[in-house]
Amino acid sequence: MNYMEHEPQGNSWKTLISVSIGVFVVNVDYWSVSVALPEMAKEFDVTTIALDWVLSAYIISFCASVAVAGRLGDLFGRKKLLLLGIALFGAFSLWVGLSDSVGMIVAARIALGLGGGLIFALATAILSNACSVSELTKMLGLLTGMGALGGAIGPVLGGLVTETIGWQWIFYLNVPVTIIAYLAVKWGTVESYDTEHRGRIDYLGVLLLVVSITGLALFIAKVTEWGILSSTSIWMAAITILFFCLFVTRENKCKNPLVDLKLFEHRTFAGFILSGALSKMYLAIIIFTTMILLEKVLSYDPLKAGLFFLAISGTVSISSVFLSAVTKAIGDKSTMLLSLVLQIAGAIILLNYSDPLWILIGLAVAGPGCSWGFSTAMVGSITTLPRNLVGLASSASLTIIVMSAGIGVTIAGAVIHTFADDGDLTAGINASIVAAILAAAIAFLVAIVVIPKRTARVQAN
């Protein structure tokens, strides 16, 4: 049974509105924090780059939550798990706001990532389960657009709140929105399960994956400090490779794998996921680098910096509305390629950041590419699996794509730190933008070589 052979469960538009609120608040939170980092660093007397773990640790726990969320939802109910994620996100937002040290903030953000991962994975799964194949692209595009609207509001809200009542209120304001999201999901969605595949959660697989991700993030962040040939670097690289190999071995042998690696034998699935992951890495690098550029090099206050981010998050939101029309006109593969060309063009423009107008233009050009790159990758991968496994499909896709975003933040921080010259961040920022260009360029090559010219939305074998 492929995706097209199963009747949708629930009203797609009602479901879209309901799950979008949770996705919205998660995006508001993430983009708000990006703008608030310099002020948080000043309060705790650390460098902004040292606080990249406020983002990275959150994304790592987010990945772990996403990885297991789909399978948990398949077994115990996707709606139940989404409601749990929303409740956790609201509760842990209070913890972040009340934190009084960097260590406590990082710990609270790790907990917050668990709730955010449940929201993202299960919102996508529930919406996909409520859509017919003909409307899936449009609905996922609109869900991306709602998330992007949160991204558009987030930087401005984060800057305004940080400048007036303090960065803590970024998290306090999450609470009433999560209450609304909880009620909307409770009343506006239907419960769904995987009725054909029952089994245990691959908790060992989750552990191996999290250790692998954390090891890689630590290696990238600290290798210049440790030295590439130091014993610490070698041991960290060896541990990361070992745990990744153990994860692959585990998933190949496990009856109910966390990520079914056999899916990567399907060219369409592999091509969209790999190119989508690198596209998401590009976005993470650009966001972090631009934030450092605006506040640390150009000395803009958080509010003014937040207004600059409207150029990218606004165009992400607007362009998402047209995704369905674009894919219908030129196809999924060409849409992915176009998105990556726009990302590369936007980053090249950003290299000319001496004029603020070029920063706005660069971000605006990259925005549609970031929107279409993510949504096209999700649609192209989800529709290769049976509908009853949509939770597992979205979890596998989101795990890989979001994991790449976390690695992207770590890469940006490490590159800026490595190439900075006696406090001058200019060379480091240029190098980080070049790293983003390389990520998008590799994604472009992957999409050309791996994704078939004509993509068929059928079950992966």
Q: What 3 state SS string does 32-68 have?
A: HHHHHHHHHHHHHCCCCHHHHHHHHHHHHHHHHHHHH
Spatial separation of the C-alpha atoms in residues 120 and 68, rounded to whole Å: 12
* Cβ–Cβ < 8 Å for 185, 18: yes
Degrees, nearest 5: CA angle 109-112-114: 120
Whole-Å CA distances, 219 to 69, 97, 224, 237, 366: 27, 29, 9, 7, 29
79 exposed, middle or buried (CB, 10 Å; 0-12, 13-18, 19+)? buried
pLDDT digit string, tens, across residues 365-405:
999 998 889 888 877 776 665 555 555 566 677 778 877 88
Q: Indicate yes or no: pTM above 0.85.
A: no
Mean pLDDT of 449-458: 70
pLDDT beyond 70 at 459: no
* Amino acid 218: pLDDT: 75
Q: Which of 286-295, 320-329, 375-384, 434-443 has the highest mean pLDDT?
A: 434-443
| Tokens read off for 434 | 């070049």
Residue 424 has what DSSP assignment?
A: B
pLDDT digit string, tens, across residues 59-92:
778 877 877 787 788 778 889 999 999 999 999 9
Degrees, nearest 5: CA angle 150-57-379: 50
- Give the count of beta carbons closer than 10 Å to the beta carbon of residue 11: 14
Q: What is the mean pLDDT of the chain?
A: 83
Q: Where are the beta strands (DSSP E) in 296-406?
A: none
More confident residue, 172 or 75: 172
| Helices (H), ranges, 99-173 | 102-130, 133-164, 168-172
| Helices (H), ranges, 351-389 | 356-382
296: closest CA among 105, 42, 31?
A: 42
* Amino acid 9: pLDDT: 61
More confident residue, 103 or 347: 347
* Cβ–Cβ < 8 Å for 294, 158: no
* Cβ–Cβ < 8 Å for 93, 102: no
Q: Which residues pair with 421 in a beta bridge?
A: 424
End-to-end CA distance of the chain: 11
* Amino acid 3: pLDDT: 43
Residue 229 has what DSSP assignment?
A: T
Spatial separation of the C-alpha atoms in residues 199 and 155, rounded to whole Å: 42
* Cβ–Cβ < 8 Å for 273, 401: yes
Degrees, nearest 5: CA angle 391-119-332: 55
264 exposed, middle or buried (CB, 10 Å; 0-12, 13-18, 19+)? middle
Spatial separation of the C-alpha atoms in residues 437 and 429, rounded to whole Å: 13
| CATH superfamily entry for domain 12-190+256-450 | MFS general substrate transporter like domains (1.20.1250.20)
The alpha carbon torsion through 78, 191, 124, 6 (nearest 10 deg) reads 120
List the domain boundaries for the chain: 12-190+256-450, 202-255
In the chain, what percentage of residues exceed pLDDT 70?
89
Phi and psi dihedrals of 424, rounded to 5? Answer: -85, 115
